[in-house]
Every structure is written in C-alpha cells, then in structure tokens.
Amino acid sequence: MKKAFIFDLDGVIVDTAKYHFLAWQKIAQELNINFTHEDNELLKGVSRVRSLDIILGLGNVQVSQADKDRMLIEKNEEYLSYLVDMDESEILPGVLKILKLLKEKNQGIALGSASKNARPILEKTGILSYFDVIVDGNDVTNAKPDPEVFLKAAQLLNIDPKNSIVFEDSVAGIQAANIAEMVSVGIGEETILHEADHIFKDFTQIETSFIEELIG
Ligand code: BG6
Ligand code: MG
C-alpha cells in the first residue's frame, strides 16, 4: 500500500535546530533576556514570527513593530551564516537509509516544515530529489500545532491523512500530526515527545521492519 511519509526538516533531517537556537540566543542576549535550551523547546517547529513573540514574552519585553522586523531579519541572517558551508554531512545519521528504503518501496515522501529556508537546505544537502512534495513555511498560513502543513502534504500526495506518518522532533509538530489523525513518530527525548505514537532517539534506532509494518 502507498502511504505518505512526511518529514519535518529542522532537527529531523538536518541538525539545524542548534543553529536556530544560537541565532535566537544572540537576539535574546541583545534584549537582555535569559534564553535556555529548555526555553528553546517551545520554539521548535514554531514559525519565525511566533518564535520572536515567545522570546519577548519570556523576558516580558515589548518592542515596536519596526524593531521586531529588524530582529527577524537579523535572526535569519545569523541563522543563514551557519548554513553557508552546509553539505550532506549535516544530514542526521540514519535519515538517508530510511529515505532510500521508502523510495525503493515506492512510498509517498513529503517535507512538512515551518521553515522558509527549507528548499535551499534540501538542495545544499543533496536530498531534494527524494521528496515528491514539499510544503514549507512559504505555503501555510497556520503554524504547527495547526495540522495545515501536514494535511496539505498528504493532500498533494493524494493520500488519506489516516494513511500518513509524520516524523517530528518538536512538541508542536507531534501535536499537529495527532490532530491530523496521522501516525506521529517523535525523534528525540521521550520526556519531551511523550504525546507521540512512537518515539526514537534518532533514525539509527528505526529498524527496517518498523517502516515495513507502517507500510502494511
Ligand atoms: C522550524 C524550526 O522548522 O522552522 C523553528 O523548528 C524555526 O525553530 C521555523 O523557527 C522557521 O524557520 P525559518 O527558517 O523560516 O526561520
Ligand atoms: Mg523540527
């Protein structure tokens, strides 16, 4: 049976979550806001604009719209500076094996990411051609935990949400997948991603048999 396998990007396919964190930390420092790794969990899977609002909220700081716009540009420039030399070495361990397996088994493969930088990242890492469908931050109006991004991906693949599987490292993304009634697979810590149907520390922990069972 053909199912939809929908992958989040940052922190699932590539190890970019750390760069988002560093770039936000720089903004937080400028605002004298203490911003920890724990706080960062709130930002995973969340849009750029919403992320800034969360950071401002953490510090109970208010700024003008013009300052917000400037900070959003600054954050993205800082983030992009980490991606300049990006290549396939940034793909997280075990990901390529799963993508190859899904292609061999003729499954639908989609990207479902909040990032507006998704396409250049897939190009730089050389894996763009694995994806039948890409839905990213440029294509949706409602951010995760709203299921829009995943529902759109399944729709473009012409596969029922119930026959879709989502790989996610963020709480917001797992919630989005659950709301969409898709199978949610958390990639990361069980303590954080406990709402997921299945949880793996990383893709190296996912056996071929698990994927075969999902395909059915
Ligand atoms: C998500 C990340 O994938 O994309 C968030 O988990 C990030 O941390 C969001 O804020 C938006 O990304 P970008 O690249 O458009 O700023
Ligand atoms: Mg992510």
What H or E segment, with its residue span, contains residue 111?
strand 108-112
Q: Which atom of ligand 1 is nearest to the CA of 118?
A: 14
* Residue 114 Cβ contacting ligand 1 at under 6 Å: yes
User: Is a pLDDT exceeding 90 seen at residue 147?
Assistant: yes
Distance CA 141, CA 49 (A): 12
- The rounded percent of the chain whose pLDDT value lies above 70 is 100
Beta-ladder partners of 110? 6, 133
Per-residue pLDDT tens over the stretch 48-59:
999 999 999 999
Would you say the CB of residue 178 lies under 6 angstroms from ligand 1? no
Q: pLDDT, tens digit, for every residue of 61-86?
A: 999 999 999 999 999 999 999 999 99
Mutation to probe ligand 1, out of 10, 68, 82 (largest number of atoms < 8 A from CB): 10
Q: Which of 109, 140, 93 is nearest to 2 (CA)?
A: 109
Kindly report the average pLDDT of the chain as a whole number: 97
The finding on whether 115 has its CB within 6 A of some atom of ligand 1 is yes
- pLDDT on residue 1: 86
| Mean pLDDT across 145-157 | 98
Residue 150: pLDDT band with limits 50, 70, 90: very high
- Whole-number Å distance, alpha carbon 175 to ligand 2 midpoint, is 13
pLDDT at residue 203 is higher than 90: yes
| Phi, psi dihedral angles at 199 (to 5 degrees) | -135, 130
What domains can you pick out in the chain, each with its CATH number?
4-15+87-215 (3.40.50.1000), 17-83 (1.10.150.240)
pTM: 0.95
Q: Is the CB of 10 under 6 A from ligand 1?
A: yes
8-46: per-residue pLDDT in tens?
A: 999 999 999 999 999 999 999 999 999 999 999 999 999
pLDDT at residue 129, as a whole number: 98
* Residue 94 and residue 64 in contact, taking contact as beta carbons nearer than 8 Å: no
How far is the C-alpha of 105 from the C-alpha of 212, rounded, in Å? 9
Give me ligand 1 centre to Cα 149, in Å.
13
Helix (H) or strand (E) holding 72: helix 65-83
97 lines ligand 1 (CB under 6 A): no
Q: Is 8 tagged catalytic?
A: yes
- Ligand found nearest the CA of 27: 1
